[in-house]
Amino acid sequence: MEPIFFFHGLEGSPEGTKGRFLADRFAGLIRPQLSPDPAARLELVLALVQSPSLLVGSSLGGLTALMFAQKKPELVTGLLLVAPAVGFFPEVEISEHHRGLLAGLVVPAGIPTVILGATQDHLIPQSALEALVVRSPEPRRIELWMRPDDHSLNRHLEAILAGINRLREL
C-alpha cells in the first residue's frame, strides 16, 4: 500500500482528533507538524512526499495537499480534502490577492479525489467546493460528499475513513 499523509488545519495538529483517529486505523500514517504559513507548509510537504502517496488534508491542510498535487501530480495517488480552504465566505478576512489565488486552484487531471464538506461550515461555503470541482479539468473524477456538520467535521470521522477506502477503490 502507498503511504498515507495527513495534513492538519491551521488550528489543528498531528495529535488532533482527525490525526489520532487516522493513526489508530492506519499503521505508518505520516502526520507532520505544519506551520501556519501556507508557503512554509508546502515547502515541508515537498520535502516529505517522495513517492506516490495518498494525501488527506483538513482545512488549510486540504489546501496544502491540493497545492502539492498541482506541483507534483505524479506523486499523488489520491486526494481526500476535508473542508479544504479553497474559498471563504465574504465576511472571512482574507486579501483579494489570496481570494484570487484560491479561485485559480484546480484538482489536476488524473488524480482521484473525494472532497468532504460540511453543510454548517462557517468558513468554507459549499459553493467554493462546487466551484473547485467545476473548474477542474476532470470534474467527473471528483466526488463531493456533504455532511451535516461544522467546519471540523469531527462528528463525521467515519466519512473520512470511507473517503480513504473509496480512493483506494478508484
Which residue carries 482545512 as its cell? 59
Whole-structure pTM value: 0.94
Alpha helices in 27-156 (DSSP H): 38-48, 60-71, 96-103, 126-135
Banded model confidence at residue 100, pLDDT cuts 50, 70, 90? confident
Amino acid identity, position 3: P
Q: Which residue has the higher pLDDT, 37 or 82?
A: 82
Range in 103-107, 122-126, 147-151 the model is least confident about: 103-107
Banded model confidence at residue 111, pLDDT cuts 50, 70, 90? very high
Q: Kindly list the structural domains of the chain, giving each domain's residue range(s) and its CATH number in brackets, ordered by start.
A: 8-169 (3.40.50.1820)
The pLDDT, as a whole number, for residue 92 is: 67
Q: Which residues pair with 113 in a beta bridge?
A: 79, 142
